[in-house]
Amino acid sequence: MTRQLELNNIFVDIDGTRIIDDVSFSLDSGDIGCLLGPSGCGKTTLLRTIGGFQQPSGGELLIAGKQVAGGTTYISPEQRRVGMVFQDLALFPHMNVRKNVGFGLKGQSSKELKTRVDELLDLVGMQRYANSYPHQLSGGQQQRVALIRAMAPRPPVLLLDEPFSSQDTERRVQLAHEVREILKQDGITAVLVTHDQFEAFALADHIGVLSKGQLRQWDDAFCLYHTPADKFVADFIGEGVFLCGNTLEDNVIQTELGTIHGELNAKVPAGTLIELLVRPDDIIHDDNSPNKATVVSRDFRGADHLYTLRMSGNTRLLCLAPSHHNHRVGEEFGIRLQLDHLVVFDRDDMINA
């Protein structure tokens, strides 16, 4: 595979404040990456740096194998030919769909322009709306037009700056799936910025979790969820809590829910006070278990209930149980842990969020 985007030790300082701190990652041709993190973590600044709208203070940035920033080199945004899809979509209201999509196709014959625009309209099922204006389209249709307009010149990299932020959660995930399919069909390399992990899971091949300008982990969604690199990632990705315990020996932990055996994510000496990451799907509803927990709150999710539970020692846990187990707030029921891979962190090793 061809390396399409590469960041090597990128730093960005703005007005004397470090915004991006030694970030490195790469994407091969056709890959989709995502910069994920809370507000103020630096993800939009990093996206602007890739696009050329923000100059890095240090490091090297390459697009399609060509250095565009680093040392004395700095290539302007227009010369990078990077595509951009913004939060507000920025469609031209006085142009119909066809003209919006073809706007960036300069220096092509009318036949070439028509062929590319028709190809993209067919790709997103918008051919019958070719002569419609943006105000005549739904939000999702406008989203598709903005996307294919940015894709039309076949940019080496396409940047998406929280393009689904105006949509509700369910619609954002649906749009992310649709956009992923479109990008994959056209072979576009892309980088998405979002604070929504489910949107990131639906769209990206690789996800980078950022905190305070640092890239905490660059991985796929499965590994971020099941093998987080540090406590910040573990806490930010997915729903979960940390259960206090201590290690008895290799791969054995003592907790309020009893002794747990399983493969640890790191070698921890016996007697170490730890925090064990417990996801809602790790807590099994079991009426025969001697471990009882009281329902503090519940969230009905159709097929499941997400219960917030309190143990006798005041420890709180989350439990995802089939909705036919219908327990009221204040009720008590039995639970057990079902864990094979144990993700633990030293209790004293607190990560700054």
Q: What is the 3-state secondary structure (H, E, C) of the chain?
A: CCEEEEEEEEEEEECCEEEEEEEEEEEECCCEEEEECCCCCCHHHHHHHHHCCCCCCEEEEEECCEEEEECCEECCHHHHCCEEECCCCCCCCCCCHHHHHHCCCCCCCHHHHHHHHHHHHHHCCCHHHCCCCHHHCCHHHHHHHHHHHHHCCCCCCEEEECCCCCCCHHHHHHHHHHHHHHHHHHCCCEEEEECCHHHHHHHCCEEEEEECCEEEEEECHHHHHHCCCCHHHHHHCCCCEEEEEEEEECCEEEECCEEEECEECCCCCCCCEEEEEECHHHEEECCCCCCEEEEEEEEECCCEEEEEEECCCCCEEEEEEECCCCCCCCCEEEEEECCCEECEEECCCCCCC
pLDDT for position 349: 60
Indicate if 230 and 261 belong to the same structural domain.
Answer: no
- Residue whose pair of structure tokens reads 């309020």 in the numeric block: 256
Indicate if 204 and 259 belong to the same structural domain.
Answer: no
User: Distance between CA atoms of 305 and 319, rounded to whole angstroms?
Assistant: 8
292 and 315 Cβ atoms separated by less than 8 Å: no
pLDDT for position 114: 92
Indicate if 211 and 251 belong to the same structural domain.
Answer: no
Residue ranges making up the domain that contains 223: 3-235
CATH number of the domain bearing residue 320? 2.40.50.140
Indicate if 123 and 172 belong to the same structural domain.
Answer: yes
Number of domains the chain contains = 2
pLDDT for position 332: 95
The distance in angstroms from the start CA to the end CA of the chain is 35
pLDDT for position 353: 36
Indicate if 180 and 221 belong to the same structural domain.
Answer: yes
| Axis-axis angle for helices 139-151, 110-123 (nearest 10) | 140
Is position 47 within any domain?
yes
57 and 69 Cβ atoms separated by less than 8 Å: no
Indicate if 276 and 186 belong to the same structural domain.
Answer: no
* Paired strand residues for 58: 11
Consecutive sets of 10 residues in the chain, 353 residues long: mean pLDDT of each?
A: 92 96 97 96 96 96 96 92 84 94 86 92 92 92 89 92 79 86 92 94 97 97 93 92 87 86 81 91 92 94 93 90 91 89 77 37
Q: Which two tokens stand for residue 228?
A: 């987080």
Indicate if 273 and 149 belong to the same structural domain.
Answer: no
Is position 329 within any domain?
yes
* Paired sense of beta strands 206-211 and 32-36, if any: parallel
Choose one of 179, 211, 235: the last residue of a domain: 235
52 Rama sector, left if φ>0, alpha if ψ -120 to 50, beta otherwise:
left
pLDDT for position 351: 38
User: Distance between CA atoms of 62 and 151, rounded to whole angstroms?
Assistant: 20
